[in-house]
Structure 1
Amino acid sequence: MDAEKGPESDIVISSRIRLARNLQDISFPYFMNAEKGNKTMQEIREAWRQSEDQLLSSLELLSFDNTSAWDRQILVEKHLISPEHGTAEEAYRGLLLSEDGSIAIMINEEDHLRIQVMLPGLQLEKCYDLAQKIDDALEKRLNFAFDEERGYLTSCPTNVGTGMRASVMLHLPGIAISGQRNRIFQNIHQLGMAVRGLYGEGTEIIGNYVQLSNQITLGQSENEIITNLGLITRQMVEQEKILRKSLQQEMRYQLEDRVGRAYGILTNARVINSNEALTLLSDVRLGMDLGIIKGINPYLINQLVVAIKPGHLQKRSGDEMEAFMRDVKRAEVIKEILLKSKQSEIQSEKEE
C-alpha cells in the first residue's frame, strides 16, 4: 500500500473495507475440526485457482502451516491479518494477498472468508468497489451462507446483514493535545461508531492513532454505512485541522518545544519501548505536517510506525530478541531512518 498518496492523508492514514463471508452448510471456523477446515480450504483454493477474474487470480495464497511465526507477526503488524489469525499454524488457515498488500483475504479466521481492501487516505468508496469485485468473483464459484431476511450469516452476530465493516485509521494529535478527545469520542459512540486503537478491538489508543468503524451491519445497506462513516470522518478531519491551527497560533512555543524534544529523543535515544516511540513519532509527524520540522517526508512516519514493531525488528536483525534488545534495536532503526531521510533531503537541496 502506497503510504504517500490518498485524499486527506495528512490526517487519514488509511481506509479499509472488510466483508465477512461463510460457506453454506459448513460450521463456522471456531467450531470446525481439521477435516472440515481442510474441506473449506480446498473449496476456497479451487475457487481461487479456477477463477477467470483477473483481480482474484492475481493474489498469492499463503498457507499458515508453511508460514513462519515471524512472517505471520509481520502480517499482523501490517494490518493484513488479525492478531488471532497470526497465532494460527493449521494447514487450513491462510491468506490470499495482493503484491502491494492492498487486498488481503483471511481464510478460516473468525469466518471462512474475510475480504479486506485497504488504501491510503480517505478512499472508502474505492475500497468497497474493489472488495465487491472480489466478493462477486468468489460468489460465482462458492455458495455463501445467506438468509433472505437477515442477509449474510456470520460468526459474530454484530456482522450479520451486509457482513461489512468499514473503518478509517486517523492521526488526531490536535484533538488529543487540546483535551477534546473524550468529548468528541463520546459523541461518535452516540452516532453508532466504534473508536479503537491501532490494532482494532481490544487495543488502547497510543500515539494518537485511532481506528473509527461502524458497529453494526444489520438494517443498513453498504452505501449507508460508507456514507455515514465518510461524513463523520470528514467532520473529524475538519475538527482536527481547526484544532491544529489553534494550537499553532495560541501555543506556538510549547508546540515547537514538544516537537523538538520528541525529535531530539528519537534521534539520540539508545533504548526506547514501543509505546514511547509511537507517542514521540506522533509529535514528530505533527511537526512535519505543520512545517515545524522540514526536510523529512511526513509519510516516512507511517512506515516507521510499522518498522518498529517486534516482528519487523526481529526480521531485520535475523534473530529472535528479548524485549530489552528489541528496545535497543528500535532506537537504532528510528535514528537510522530519520537521520538518513534528513541527509537525503539536504543532499537533494544542494543538487538543486
Structure 2
Amino acid sequence: MSTISVEDHWNRLKHAQSTSFLKRNMTELIFRELKDKLTYFNGTLLDCIQGGCINLDSGCGIYASDPEAYDVFSGIFHPIIKDYHKVDTVSHPNPDFGDINNLGFGDLDPTKRYITSTRVRVGRSQAGFPFHPTAKLKDRVELESRAKEALDVFSGELDGSYYPLSGMSREKQTELIEEHYLYLQENRFLGDAHVYDDWPVGRGIFYNPDKTFLVWVNEEDHLRFISMQKGSDLGAVYKRLVTALNTIEEKSSLKFGHHSKLGYLTFCPSNLGTTLRASVHIRIPCLASQPYFHDFLEKHHLQVRGVNGVHTEMIGDIYDISNKRRLGLTEIQAVREMIAGVGAVLAEEQRLDGSITHAEKQTLEGRVAAET
C-alpha cells in the first residue's frame, strides 16, 4: 500500500502539467466529495487515482479499485467516461454481436500488402470479485481456479490448454511475448495501479494449438478473450470470438460483471461497455509519417498503439490500429466502425504511396461508405 496520502497525490497532480483524463476532469470539489468514501471491498479514491498521479503522462489516469467503485466514485468516473467515450450520457445498449453466420465483412486487405494480422478481444470480470488494488492473494488464486475450470468447456477449434505463469520458464515467456501472445510485465502504469501485486501467482494463459484463440487470466482484467490470426479475415476472427463467449456463458459457472449503464465491467474505464477492441497490425509508413496522422485516426474513431500493446513502442512501420469507442454502441456496431476506419486508413495510405488502382480505390471507398 502507498505511504503517500491521497491529499499528497492530488496536490501533485493538481499542480502538474498533465493531459490525462483524470487531470482534465478532477476538480477540488469532486476530490473533497470523494476522498473519504469506501466501497464494499474497502476501495478508496487513492486506489483509483494513484497510478495516474504517479505517472503524469498517463492517458486515462484512473482505474477502478473494484466493480462498485464506478458507483461510489461516480463523481469522477462519469465525467471521465463521457469525455473518453465521447458520449453525452453514461448509458449503454444491450449486447448485440450480430448474426455471426451472416456477417458479410469481407477481407479487410484484398491486396495482402498492408495488414499482417487481425485480432478481436474482449475483457470480462467475474461478478463479485475485486479488481487489483483491493484483491488479495487468495482472490487471485480462487479466480484462477474458477477460470481453469471454466476453460475446460471448450472443444473443437477452441479446445486448448492452460499454462500458469508460476513455474513457466523465462524462455517460454519470452517466446510467447515475442509472438505477441503473452502480456508484458513491464508496464509502469499498470504496476503503479497494483496489477502486478503477488506476481506471478494466479496468472496464466490458455490457448489452442494453432494459437488463434487465447485467454489471459488475471492480467489487467480478470479475463481477456482473444481471437487472432495472420492475414485480414476479420469475419473468421470475430466469429471465433463470439462462439467462444457464447460457449463459456452457456456451459460454465462463470458470471460476468455487468452494469445497467456501463455494460461489461472492466478495470480501466476506457474499456467499459462492449469492452471490444478489434485491431489490425498494419504497415502504413506513408500515413504514419504525416503530421495529421493522429487527427486522421481520431476522425475515424480509431486509436493506435505499439504491437506489444498499450504503452509500448512501434516496431518498424507496423502499427496496431483499432476501434476507440467501446461504450454507447453495440459490439457489431463497434466492429463495423473499425472496418470503416481501417478502410479509410488503407485508402489514404495507398493514395500517399501512389500504388492504389482505380478498382482498388472504388472497393475501399465502397466499404467505407457501407460501414458508416
- Shorter-chain TM-score range: 0.5 to 0.7
Q: Superposition pairs for residues 258-273 of structure 1, below 5 Å?
A: none
Which of 254, 258, 262 is matched with 1:150 structurally? 262
> Aligned equivalents of 1:83 and 1:30: distance in 2?
19
Shift of 1:85: 8.3
Q: 1:122 to 1:8 in 2, by over 3 A?
A: farther
Give the unaligned 5+ runs of structure 2.
1-107, 188-195, 357-372
Match of 2:322 in 1: 213
Match of 2:279 in 1: 167
Q: Which has the higher helix share?
A: 1
> Aligned equivalents of 1:204 and 1:190: distance in 2?
23
Contact (CA 8 Å) 1:124, 1:226: kept in 2 or not? no
3-state SS, counterpart of residue 43 of structure 1: helix
3-state SS, counterpart of residue 83 of structure 1: coil
3-state SS, counterpart of residue 65 of structure 1: coil
Match of 1:132 in 2: 242
> Aligned equivalents of 1:67 and 1:90: distance in 2?
10
3-state SS, counterpart of residue 185 of structure 2: helix
Which of 191, 212, 224 is matched with 2:300 structurally? 191
* TM-score normalised by L of structure 1: 0.62
Shift of 1:182: 2.5
Q: What CA deviation, in whole Å up to 9, does each residue of 1:160-186 have, x standing for no partner?
A: 11111111111113435xx5x222332
Shift of 1:98: 1.4
**1:59 is the counterpart of 2:166:** no
> Aligned equivalents of 2:146 and 2:182: distance in 1?
21
For these two proteins, the number of residue pairs brought into alignment is 238
Counterpart residue identity of residue 60, structure 1: S
Counterpart residue identity of residue 130, structure 2: S
Q: Aligned Cα RMSD in Å? A: 2.5
Which of 223, 235, 257 is matched with 1:113 structurally? 223
Match of 1:99 in 2: 209
Give the unaligned 5+ runs of structure 1.
248-352
Q: 1:6 to 1:81 in 2, by over 3 A?
A: farther
Match of 1:35 in 2: 138
> Aligned equivalents of 1:60 and 1:6: distance in 2?
32
The percent of aligned pairs where both chains have the same amino acid is 26
> Aligned equivalents of 1:67 and 1:163: distance in 2?
29
Contact (CA 8 Å) 1:40, 1:92: kept in 2 or not? yes
Contact (CA 8 Å) 1:196, 1:202: kept in 2 or not? yes
> Aligned equivalents of 1:65 and 1:132: distance in 2?
29
**1:71 is the counterpart of 2:156:** no
* TM-score normalised by L of structure 2: 0.59
Contact (CA 8 Å) 2:118, 2:280: kept in 1 or not? yes
**1:17 is the counterpart of 2:120:** yes
3-state SS, counterpart of residue 66 of structure 1: coil
Match of 1:48 in 2: 151
Contact (CA 8 Å) 2:205, 2:215: kept in 1 or not? yes
Contact (CA 8 Å) 2:304, 2:322: kept in 1 or not? yes
